[in-house]
Each structure stands twice: as C-alpha cells, then as structure tokens.
Amino acid sequence: MIKTVSTTPYSDQKPGTSGLRKKVPVFQQENYAENFIQSIFDSLEDFAGQTLVIGGDGRYYNREVIQIAIKMAAANGFGQVLVGRGGILSTPAASNVIRKHKAFGGIILSASHNPGGPTEDFGIKYNIGNGGPAPEKITDAIFARSKVIDTYKIADAADINIDIEGTHTIEGTKITVIDPVADYAELMEELFDFAAIRAMFAGGFRVVFDAMSAVTGPYAKEILENRLGAPKGSVLNFMPLPDFGGHHPDPNLVHARALYEAMMADDAPDFGAASDGDGDRNLIIGRGIFVTPSDSLAMLAANAHLAPGYSKGLSGIARSMPTSGAADRVAEKLGIGMYETPTGWKFFGNLLDADKVTICGEESAGTGSNHVREKDGLWAVLLWLNVLAVRKESVLDIVREHWAAYGRNYYSRHDYEEVDSAAANGLIADLRARLADLPGKTFGGLTVEKADDFAYHDPIDKSVSEHQGIRILFAGGSRIVFRLSGTGTSGATLRVYIERFEPDAARHDIETQTALADLIAIADEIADIKGRTGRDAPSVIT
Ligand code: VG1
Ligand code: CO
C-alpha cells in the first residue's frame, strides 16, 4: 500500500556546496528526511519507471534513511532501485553505477569528510543522470519545494534486507541489492595498467592506504590488496564504521597526522594515501614529501598520458577558483583549455559532459576525471601508482622535477571553524564593499593588482553563479582568497586560501608557512581576521 502522509515544511533544507548537511538529531526530527527526499522527487520530471541508485558512506543513520528512500522511491513510481549492499556506495562508485546502469539519478547519503555518530553529521545529496551532483538549478528547486511541501508518499512495506545481494519488489518497483565494489573495480581496471602496478608491488614497492574507517575500505582492500597484490595489511582502518572510529574522516595533515608522521620516517613506505568519509577525496604523501592537492592535480595532469585510460591525452583541465594555478601552467604547456570554476564538483559536470576537460581538481583534496562525475579518491591514488610504475622514480623526484620545470606554487589553506556567523558574514561583506579601493594599494611590499568577487559564467549552459569568493591578486602572481564554507553544520567556517608562485628552483625548499608568512600577515591585515573572529590562529591549516 502506498501512503500519502501529511507533513509540515522545514525552513532550513537548503543544499550547500554538496547536498544538505545537518547534525543527525536535525535529520531525526519528524519527517525531516522524508520531506527532503520528497522535495527532490517533486523537483524532477518524467522518472516514472526509471532507475534510481541509492547508497551512502555507512555513517550513523545511513541504514535508516536507506530504507526510507527505498520505500519512497517505490511509492513515487521509480521502476527500479539499485542499492549498495549494506547501504554502502562510495560517492564515486555511486556516480559510476548511475552512469553504467543508465539510471535517472541517485541519492547519496553522506556528509563526506564531516564526523559521524549520533550527535555528528549526516547528509543527503541528489545526483543526476550523468552521475554528477545536481546543478544549482535543481538544488534551488529542491529548496523551494521543501519550504512548501505538505505531503510525501511512502510504501507501507517491510524493510528490505540490504545485507544480502538479491532482488525484491515493493509496489511493483524492483529493488536490487548490488555489490558496491564490483562495477567500480572493473572501471579502474579499464583505466589503469594493473599489470604494471602489480609488478611494481611485486618488486617490493611499499604502499600504505588509510581508509579512515570510512567507505573506501572495501574498495581499497579489493583493488590494492586482492587485485594488485599489495601485501595484506597495506590498507589500514578498512572497516567502515558508523562513527569512523570517533575520528574526523578528512584526509588532511591534521586528521591523517599519523600517516603523515609515518611517511616522514627514514624507513617509510614508498607511497602513502588516504581517503575521506565518502571516498571522493585523496591524500597523497610520498616518502618524505606531502603533495598538496593543487600540486597533485597539476602533476597528474602532466603525467596522465602514461595511464592507458588517458593515453590519448587530455582535452582540457578544470580547477576550482581557490585551487592553485599550478595546473594552469600544465594546460598552457600542453596547449589545452583551462577552466576556473566555483568551489564544488557540481560545476565540473557540464565541462566534462561537453568534453571540454578530462581532468578536474580542487585544493580540498579532490581530483577526478571524465570516468565519473564526482571527484574520486582511489582513482587519484591509482593514477599516481600507475605514473610511479611507469616512471620508476620516487614521488619526491617527480615532485622536484615538476617544480623545476613549471615553478612551484606555495599554497596553504587556513580554516577558522565554527566562528560566529554574523562575524564571518560581516568580514566578507566588508571586504566586498572595499574591493574597488584595493587595487594599487600596497601591503607589506606587495601591491594589489586586482580584487573581485568571483562570479562564474558557465560556458555550456550560460548559467551565472555569483559571490563565489573574494579574490585579492597581487602583482607577481601571489593571491589571497576568502570564502565561507558551504558544508559546515555549526556556525560559519572562514576559509583563507594563500598562494605564492616561485619560479626559481633554488627557492623550492622553503617550509610552506614560512614561504607564505608575508601573505598570511597581509590576509589578517586586510580582513582583520583576528579582530573579527576573536581567534589568534586558524583551527586547521592544510
Ligand atoms: C568543501 C571544499 C570543496 C568540496 C566540498 C565537498 O566545501 O572546500 O572543495 O567540493 O567541501 O567535498 P566548502 O563549501 O566547505 O568549502 V566533500 O568530500 O565534503 O563532498
Ligand atoms: Co567527500
């Protein structure tokens, strides 16, 4: 039986950078998840009889919402639902399943790198038929609908056993529980030279991958250990846990500190990597060298042709605006297009669909390609391994050679988390008001060349996205960007992105914060960060 349930709207269901993210107790309010899921369905057209993919990163509350989403999809007339076994699908794997099975779209339950647990974060995101996050036109429609919704539809059915692969029927809708790893592993085998990587491992190359008790564990175990022959134990923390073992599943130098320390030791493995809660981010560390995500994008773009899936070269590269300009010089050298988009993977979808770009990346540890329409943590790891297997050099050597050839972009992001929202909004508003006055002004010896509020004009669908970050560009190529996070769930998070270009190879060995010290001081001077946030220092430096 299909039930039509009366409900009252919530006013706060506005999707952010990547879906709707709230604390679990917010999602546990009466009909909160149901309202949002129905608002998604109400914003879509012509999906009757089509396929919907459902999966999540296994965090707390995942299993409950999976059952709700299945029953609502059945009641709303989808013909088929594909759900990952155990409710598990990493974000890139979900994107792949949507594409491969020609689904209408997918619902991904994740708050990505945010912590999980009864009082931590949960999230729901809708992806369209190309496998990518819904564009703003759709997320705006979902939010508008959520503010007026008064009923939702749900099948009055028993829970599906999602822990065993198989097929069920609810109200005429076929529900299939699928292996979450198989399709994804097959795709990786098509893109990369598994034989070369296997030979490298067999030759004693040591890899360590920290799955951070999050969704990538089963994928990394299957691919790195089972298919590529890395020794058992190479994948750490491989069991997805609802609370990620109490840790913050964000693969950066703060939350993956132990991996970083291990990789800096004299007897460190050759290659260290980690991924986030939903498997779309990556951390790359060679023995004795952390590769910044912006550098990793540039280096992968410069070397991608060494992997079979990219042997024909790249059509273009895209990066989010705050990401460093390192990739720009690779695009220039390759003579291919370079696109600068706002933060968030949803802005890459059109460029990838139109084949304007092959590889995309963000400074927040996200890299990916046209193989799916999400960033992909394990993909980045495998591309690095493929490059290493072909070049037979260390990560450190590859990084040094790249800097010598292209110059080095010293880069760091300073986050001020959970600051007062009014203070953070005021800081940005004031900067915005002063933009016209900044060019020509000198701070600590650096002259502002240009200052603007980044707006993106999508070259494919011509949509315009404004207020995507305040950019202050200095003569000589240094840059400071200020923006507020769209993924946090309490207060505001101010992100300050600091970058300096250094062409001289003799000056490529400076510690990053030291190399950026003058710009860090200028950022505070221009925006009065300390005064406005009441913070002496950032909460996270990456
Ligand atoms: C952050 C990152 C952004 C990324 C987004 C989603 O957004 O800066 O680059 O796309 O998270 O990543 P924000 O608005 O908080 O800066 V994930 O791995 O959380 O899906
Ligand atoms: Co993520």
pLDDT in tens, 427-486: 999 999 999 999 999 998 899 999 999 999 999 999 999 999 999 999 988 999 999 998
Q: What's the 364 CA to ligand 1 centre distance in angstroms?
A: 7
pLDDT in tens, 232-278: 999 999 999 999 999 899 999 889 999 999 999 999 999 999 999 99
Give the fold, CATH level 3, of 184-406: Alpha-D-Glucose-1,6-Bisphosphate; Chain A, domain 3 (3.40.120)
Look at residue 487 in the predicted model and tell me its pLDDT: 82
Q: At what angle do helices 421-434 and 517-527 cross, to 10 degrees?
A: 100
How far is residue 54's CA from residue 98's CA, in Å, rounded to a whole number?
9
pLDDT (tens digit per residue) in 272-289: 999 999 999 999 999 999
Phi-psi region of 181 (alpha: psi -120 to 50; beta: other; left: phi over 0): alpha
CA distance linking residue 281 with residue 293, whole number of Å: 10
Distance (Å, whole) CA 124 – CA 331: 35
What does the alpha-carbon distance between residue 95 and residue 301 come to, in Å, rounded to a whole number? 22
Choose the residue to mutate in 90, 250, 343 for probing ligand 1, maximizing ligand atoms within 8 Å of C-beta: 343
What is the pLDDT, as a whole number, of residue 197?
A: 98
pTM reported for the whole predicted model: 0.95
Verify whether residue 324 is a known catalytic residue: no
Given 18, 95, 112, 485, which residue is catalytic? 112
Residues 403 and 411: their CA atoms lie apart, in Å, by 13
For residue 243, report the distance from its CA to the centre of ligand 2, in Å.
15
- Residue range 339-362: mean pLDDT, rounded: 96
Task: Judge contact between 56 and 116, C-beta under 8 A.
Answer: no
CATH 3.30.310.50 fits 408-541, yes or no: yes
pLDDT on residue 456: 97
Q: Is 281 in the pocket of ligand 1 (CB under 6 A)?
A: yes
Q: Say which amino acid occupies 172.
A: G
Q: Specify the 3-state DSSP secondary structure of 109.
A: strand
Dist CA 98 CA 191 (whole Å): 18
Nearest to 485 by CA among 121, 130, 215, 240: 121
Q: Is the CB of 495 under 6 A from ligand 1?
A: yes
Q: Taking the domain 2-179, which CATH number applies? A: 3.40.120.10
Query: What are the extents of the domains in the chain?
Result: 2-179, 184-406, 408-541
For 56, the 3-state DSSP assignment is: strand
- What does each C-alpha distance from 254 to 70, 244, 350, 517 come to in angstroms? 37, 16, 33, 20
- For residue 44, which phi and psi values (nearest 5 degrees)? -105, 160
User: Could you read off the pLDDT of 286-329 as tens digits, one per residue?
Assistant: 999 999 999 999 999 999 999 999 999 999 999 999 999 999 99
Ligand 1: atom nearest CA of 486 is: 14
**Interval between CA 487 and ligand 1 midpoint (Å):** 6
Output the pLDDT for position 436. 94
Q: Which residue has the tokens 């990620």?
A: 244
CB 127 within 8 A of CB 108: yes
- C-beta of 345 in contact with ligand 1 (< 6 A): yes
250 CA → ligand 2 middle, Å: 8
Q: Name the band, by pLDDT with cuts 50, 70 and 90, for residue 489.
A: confident
> Is the CB of 18 inside a 6 Å radius of any atom of ligand 1?
yes
Q: Which two tokens stand for residue 259?
A: 């991996």
Structure confidence at residue 18 (pLDDT): 87
Ligand found nearest the CA of 19: 1
Tokens at 61, concatenated:
């509350």
Q: Relative to the alpha carbon of 321, which ligand is closest?
A: 1
Helix (H) or strand (E) run with residue 385 in it: helix 377-391
305-332: b or e for each residue (b if 16 or more CB lie within 10 Å)? bbbebbeeebbbbbbbbbbbbbbbbbbe
Position 177 pLDDT exceeds 80: yes
343 touches ligand 1 (CB under 6 Å): yes
Long-range contacts of 336-341 (CB under 8 A, 24+ apart): 339/459, 340/456, 341/456
pLDDT per position as a tens digit, 98-140:
999 999 999 999 999 999 999 999 999 999 999 999 999 999 9
The confidence score (pLDDT) of residue 378 equals 98
CATH topology of 2-179 equal to that of 408-541? Answer: no
Give the HSE-up count for residue 259: Cα atoms under 13 Å, Cβ half-sphere: 30
Mean pLDDT, rounded, for 48-66: 97
Residue 70 CA neighbour count, 13 Å, CB half? 29
Q: For ligand 1, say whether the CB of 344 is within 6 Å of any of its atoms.
A: yes
Distance CA 214, CA 309 (A): 27
- What pLDDT is recorded for position 488? 77
Given a contact cutoff of 8 angstroms between Cβ atoms, the answer to whether 360 and 367 are in contact is yes
Among 367, 487, 495, say which to mutate for ligand 1: greatest number of ligand atoms within 8 Å of CB. 487
407, burial (CB in 10 Å: exposed 0-12, middle 13-18, buried 19+): middle
Asked whether the predicted pLDDT for residue 409 surpasses 90, the reply is yes
Q: What is the pLDDT of residues 510-540, one digit of tens each?
A: 999 999 999 999 999 999 999 999 999 999 9
